[in-house]
Amino acid sequence: MADTGTQDTPRDPRQDAGRDPSIEKRLKRDPFDADAKVDAGSDESMDASDPPAAAAPGSQDPAPSSGYDEEAEAEAERANSQ
């Protein structure tokens, strides 16, 4: 049976980049350390994926939106439907 990449099939250890244990130590020491949060998110992230939400410095909230304005979009849709 071909490997489908599910959790049921064992992964080749050469495919695992591993984790940096020093990041976990830093987070245990200070769970609010923004740099450690970004490092942990990057460690868990795939190459070329979206940046982790902890990348918004000085905030516990996710990074801000790209500028989507819900009211402006609703107004444009109303104008287009008339």
Residue 53 CA, chain-centre distance (Å), reads 5
Residue 2 located in a structural domain? no
Residue 6 located in a structural domain? no
**Sequence-ordered strand ranges (E) for 1-82:** none
Number of domains in the chain: 1
Burial call 28-42: b when 16+ CB within 10 Å, e when fewer? eeeeeeeebbbbbee
pLDDT of residue 6: 55
Tens digits of residue pLDDT in 11-68: 677 766 677 889 889 989 998 888 888 888 888 776 666 666 655 566 666 556 667 7
pTM of the model: 0.40
pLDDT of residue 29: 93
54 close to 41: Cβ distance less than 8 angstroms: yes
Domain extent, residue 30, equals 18-44
Residue 50 located in a structural domain? no
Residue 33 located in a structural domain? yes
20 close to 43: Cβ distance less than 8 angstroms: yes
**Reported confidence tier of residue 70, pLDDT bands at 50, 70, 90:** confident
